[in-house]
Amino acid sequence: MVSIKDIARAAQVSHSTVSRALRNSPLVNIETRALIHKLAGEAGYTVSAVGRSLVTKRTSTIGVVVTTIADPFAGEVVSGIEEFALSHDYSVILAACHADPDRELRAVHSLQERRVDGILVMASRIGALYLPRLSGMKVPIVLINSHHPGEFVYSIRIDNVDGARLATKHLVDLGHRRIAYIGDRFGFQSDMERLTGYREMLEETNPGFEADLGFEPDLVAYGDGTPEGGRQAMLQLLSRAARPTAVFCYNDRMAIGAMRAVREQGLRVPRDVSIAGFDDLFLSSYTDPPLTTVRQPKRDMGVQAGEILLQLLAGEKPESRVTSGVLVVRESTGPPRSAASLRSAIRSHG
């Protein structure tokens, strides 16, 4: 592998001069600089980041911790991170922890050894095991929609309460009285917040707890975040005495499973049950019917996380940021049928 010294020999100068020339330092004569660039080009020389890092004590590298990159949500956020990184001459080192304590430890340890300049964490669950290791590292850490905002100072997250209110209000405005929530049973902070927004909106709309509107524990079911989990939760809701006419789901994946459950019961979306999700995944606009959901600015959140990290690296004290979701109304939500027609529809199917 050709190094700076080989170029120096070829150009009959010291390696210091080569180093300076390649970084376009004004300290070096314009002609020698040109010569060195020419020789370096011919020799196919590329500066070694490892040599450089050793002296500069910076690797221009950021670690991204993610539960799994196969999650389409994570993919889009990381895509934003990567875009930001590339445009600022940083590289992204991926570390998937798979919610597995052993892998978490190994992944973070590896980032530590590689001396990343900073870390972005998007794992919804930050394991108790590697949390101390993370905070023990001397590098800045920015959390993205994560669970432990208290432990770490800097984060970017979506306003879950507001987003949930948006979705719930939409369902209320359509005329629904019995609106259910399918949450994530792992009890992430984000789930708590979305539940809060859902609950707030219901209670505000109906301060006196009139019949058929207001928060009812019976109208909350839990899945595991996957379509199958959403399906199971929806089946539960449908089997209860007073079924909901609309459901707000913690995320799009469960909403998709919920739609399937509705179909399996011979009912139709949104005619019999309206369904709204959260996230707006790439494929959510291609479900049948297309899914009403709260869009998270995923790429942008990745970019903003990068910006916060950069400020941190520059020694500034950035504010944590909160972005807002926007309600995307598609065709999975609509006005409720009257109770009578719903009953007859069920009878004709059963």
Partner DNA sequence: ACCGGTATTGCACACGTTTGCAATCCTGAT
Partner DNA sequence: ATCAGGATTGCAAACGTGTGCAATACCGGT
- Site for DNA contains 16 (CB under 7 A): yes
Asked if residue 278 lies in contact with residue 293, where contact means CB atoms within 8 angstroms, the answer is yes
**Helix (H, G, I), strand (E, B), or coil: what is residue 321?**
strand
Bridge partner residues of 91 (DSSP): 61
Please give the residue ranges that form the binding site for a copy of itself (CB under 8 A).
1, 44, 46-51, 53-54, 57, 59, 61, 64, 68-72, 74-76, 78-79, 82-83, 86, 89, 91-96, 98, 103, 106-107, 109-115, 136, 138, 227, 256-257, 259-260, 263, 281-283, 285-288, 299
156 φ, ψ (degrees, to nearest 5): -130, 135
Out of DNA, a copy of itself, none, what residue 95 binds, judged by CB under 5 to 8 A for its kind, is a copy of itself
Task: Find, among 332, 344, 209, 323, the residue nearest to 271 by Cα.
Answer: 332
Least separation, in Å, of the C-beta of 205 and a copy of itself?
A: 31
- Taking the least distance from each CB to DNA, the nearer of 217 and 315 is 315
Least separation, in Å, of the C-beta of 302 and a copy of itself?
A: 10
- Taking the least distance from each CB to a copy of itself, the nearer of 93 and 273 is 93
- Taking the least distance from each CB to a copy of itself, the nearer of 93 and 182 is 93
Distance CA 153, CA 23 (A): 36
Site string for DNA, 34-53 (x = CB under 7 A): -------------xx-xxx-
Which two three-digit tokens encode residue 55?
């002296």
**Helix (H, G, I), strand (E, B), or coil: what is residue 218?**
helix
CB atoms within 10 A of CB 241: 5
CB atoms within 10 A of CB 207: 8
130 φ, ψ (degrees, to nearest 5): -100, -5
- Taking the least distance from each CB to DNA, the nearer of 50 and 314 is 50
- Taking the least distance from each CB to DNA, the nearer of 23 and 349 is 23
Interacting residues of 235 by C-beta distance below 8 A, sequence separation 6+: 261, 264, 265
- Taking the least distance from each CB to a copy of itself, the nearer of 48 and 344 is 48
Least separation, in Å, of the C-beta of 218 and a copy of itself?
A: 27
Which two three-digit tokens encode residue 187?
């009890």
Asked if residue 341 lies in contact with residue 302, where contact means CB atoms within 8 angstroms, the answer is no
- Site for DNA contains 54 (CB under 7 A): yes
Given the rule CB under 7 A, which residues bind DNA?
A: 1, 3-5, 12-17, 19-20, 22-23, 26-30, 32, 47-48, 50-52, 54-57
